[in-house]
């Protein structure tokens, strides 16, 4: 079966991640120029037995055929009621179809998870 080429990943995506002891949910704003990706991801992280906090990470990455790799290069704490030492994230996923990217995440602390990006289609 022939792989359908996706023209561009540029746009807004809904982000969900489960990393065992917590859940992250938010939005990914992505720009693609050639194979290069850049953007921002803004999300709330809800860890068991802790208050929720909100993070924004600046991303860069690459798409190669149906493989999508993103890595955070910096972060800002948008909201937190307590001190945070945050570790940058990376995402390694597969383009399932035009509206879904699924894969594994890893932060610089070695904590891994499973994520999904769902494209928000323009009306």
- pLDDT of res. 102: 98
All structural domains of the chain: 1-63+88-123 (2.40.128.120)
- pLDDT of res. 49: 74
Residue pair 76/59 in contact (Cβ under 8 Å)? The answer is no
Residues of the chain with pLDDT under 50: 1-4
- pLDDT of res. 123: 65
- pLDDT of res. 19: 87
The DSSP 8-state label assigned to residue 80 in this structure reads: -
- pLDDT of res. 30: 97
- pLDDT of res. 47: 79
- pLDDT of res. 46: 87
Residue pair 12/119 in contact (Cβ under 8 Å)? The answer is yes
- pLDDT of res. 79: 92
């Amino acid at each position: 079966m022939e792989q359908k080429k996706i023209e561009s990943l540029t746009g807004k995506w809904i982000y969900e991640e489960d990393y065992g002891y917590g859940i992250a949910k938010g939005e990914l704003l992505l720009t693609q120029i050639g194979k290069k990706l850049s953007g921002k991801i803004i999300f709330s992280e809800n860890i068991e037995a802790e208050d929720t906090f909100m993070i924004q990470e600046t991303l860069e990455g690459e798409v190669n055929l149906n493989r999508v790799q993103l890595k955070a290069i910096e972060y800002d704490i948008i909201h937190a009621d307590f001190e945070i030492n945050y570790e940058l994230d990376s995402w390694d996923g597969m383009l399932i179809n035009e509206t879904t990217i699924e894969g594994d995440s890893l932060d610089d602390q070695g904590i891994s998870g499973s994520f999904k990006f769902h494209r928000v289609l323009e009306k």
